[in-house]
Amino acid sequence: MTQPPSTRTARFPDGAFAYRDGRLFVEGVDLTAIAAAVGTPAYVYSTAQLAANWRAYADAFAGDGVEICFALKANSNLAVIRTLARLGAGADIVSIGEMERAMAAGIPAARTIFSGVGKGRDEMAAALSAGIHQINVESLPELELLSEVAVGMGLTAPVAIRVNPDVDAETHGKIATGRKEDKFGIDWGHARAAFARAKALPGLDPVGVAVHIGSQLLKTAPFERAYAKLAELVVQLREDGIDIRRIDVGGGLGVPYRPGDGLPDHAEYAAVVRRTLGHLGARITLEPGRSLVASAGLLLSRVNFVKDGLHRRFLILDAAMNDLIRPSLYDAWHTILPVKDPGGAEPVPMDVVGPVCESGDTFAKERLLPPMAAGDLVAFMTAGAYGAVMAGTYNSRPLAPEVLASGDRWSLVRRRWGVAEQMALESLPDWMQAG
């Protein structure tokens, strides 16, 4: 689907989403037009912002030979992956389904890292058969199983062992992954023994060491602490006779969600990587997800009702927690903007909620927003990561469609998945068929 070329030349000082002619636009496309065509709720992504987010990393690490692998768990839409693949991204996956998506979008298994704590035998076999670049192992039982699978296939598995450095990422507890109480990685004190075991097992080539301390980091100090420990370990492992050629530093920077959040400094982050790991001569890989896609997407929704109670005003939307679960799951903040430019309207406090029959179906409490009425459109900003990809069909609600914009063009890149398609996956047992 396309819009005619626009003659308007407004700039986008706040990224690819900005008000023009009294309405919110994504690049050169009026969000009102998208809502009219595909309905709401709907996710909308910007090609230009995806590219800008990619360039922030590519420019910061220019000349360093660093491999940037997009973490598909943040957003697995094929058009989004293809956009990043064309820019040069590899893939970081946590399931074979994600590997198949990456390959379908143009990222071969040879440029893909398989992460995750619970890989099954069949997943390991599929990854090895496809020619996976690297499997990040997180436990000794996983190491033993991978050896067995690789030997049975007559292959050698390229392995990086993920270690847990016991570094607090200073982020939300549910997305911190590098503390000693977290389920991820092999305990720091067991790391050298785990590498010795990997070297001794048949069918394994322990090529690298991996670490990932968590998501949504806006400061570089936790990275520096973790990477400094990692550098010491690499030196020790090489002294032990383990030929460490690759270092996987995990996910990238966080993103600003709230007004006043500091902007992540890609140059400072790159300087930390160089300062702590650059002298080791290893191939470095990073796996950003959120910071590549979050600011490139929004969730478009429509106001169903404005409900005035004795104590609260409720803005009741057609989007719900099944469409965007982050506020319910993480108490996450998303800036909420009216699609119609509010001008100088005086904001009032509102609880922004969805129609699902749960008190947890609440996006914001007492959020200051301009006055709105039924039928008005709103946009949840910075929703390109962990939005559509975490959506579900609770209350038998359809999955929201996804749209990708590029300049004055836009395309429906996932249609709305309705109730009939949900029910088509189900069947009644034979004893219920008659009558």
- Give the model's pLDDT for residue 12: 33
On whether the CB atoms of residues 233 and 163 are closer than 8 A, the answer is: yes
- Mean pLDDT estimate for the chain: 91
Question: Tens digits of per-residue pLDDT, 319-375?
Answer: 999 999 999 998 999 999 999 999 889 999 999 999 999 999 999 999 999 999 999
What is d(CA 52, CA 57) in angstroms, rounded to the nearest whole number? 9
The tens digit of pLDDT for each residue in 204-235 reads: 999 999 998 877 888 888 889 889 999 999 99
User: Is 69 marked active-site?
Assistant: no
What the block records as the tokens of 179 is: 């503390």
User: Which of 13-27, 236-250, 330-344 shows the lowest mean pLDDT across its residues?
Assistant: 13-27
The residues near 225 (Cβ < 8 Å, ≥ 6 apart) are 165, 167
Q: Is the confidence at residue 3, as pLDDT, over 90?
A: no
Q: Is the pLDDT of residue 169 over 60?
A: no
175 pLDDT exceeds 60?
no
pLDDT of residue 164: 86
Contact 195, 240 (CB under 8 A): yes
Pairwise CA distance, residues 366 & 348, whole Å: 8
Give the percent of the chain with pLDDT over 70.
92
The predicted pLDDT at position 370 comes to: 96
State the first-to-last Cα distance of the chain, in angstroms, to the nearest integer: 45
Q: How far is CA 419 from CA 84, 295, 394, 395, 423, in A?
A: 32, 30, 11, 10, 6
Q: Are 292 and 53 in contact (CB under 8 A)?
A: yes
Residue 261, pLDDT score: 84
Contact 255, 290 (CB under 8 A): yes
pLDDT value at 2 more than 50: no
Q: How confident is the model at residue 413 (pLDDT cuts 50, 70, 90)?
A: very high
Q: Strand, coil or helix: what is 112?
A: strand
Structure tokens at 3: 């819009």
Q: What is the mean pLDDT of residues 83-107?
A: 98
Q: Is the pLDDT of residue 303 over 80?
A: yes
In this prediction, residue 251 carries a pLDDT of 86
When pLDDT is averaged across residues 21-34 and rounded to a whole number, the result is 97
Cα–Cα dist 367/72, whole Å: 31
Tokens of 323: 């469409």
What pLDDT is stored for residue 167 in this prediction?
A: 65
> For residue 361, which of 419, 410, 292, 315 has the smallest C-alpha distance?
315
58: helix, strand or coil: helix
The answer to whether residue 236 scores a pLDDT higher than 80 is: yes
Lowest mean pLDDT among 55-69, 178-192, 277-291, 411-425: 178-192
> Is the pLDDT at 174 greater than 70, yes or no?
no
Alpha-carbon distance 273 to 286, whole Å? Answer: 10
- Give the pLDDT band of residue 1 (cuts 50, 70, 90): very low
pLDDT tens track for 186-208: 988 899 999 999 999 999 999 99
Task: Work out the burial of residue 61: count CB atoms within 10 Å of its CB; fewer than 13 is exposed, 13-18 middle, 19 or more buried.
Answer: buried
Predicted pLDDT at 14? 54
Active-site pick, 263, 357, 420, 428: 357
Confidence class for position 264, pLDDT limits 50, 70, 90: confident
Contacts of 60 (CB under 8 A, 6+ apart): 266, 267, 269, 270
Residue with the larger pLDDT of the pair 378 and 3: 378
Check pLDDT > 70 for residue 27. yes
User: What's the pTM value of the predicted model, to 2 decimals?
Assistant: 0.92
Cis peptide before 41 (omega within 30 of 0): yes
- What are the pLDDT digits (tens) for 106-151? 999 999 999 999 999 999 999 999 999 999 999 999 999 999 999 9
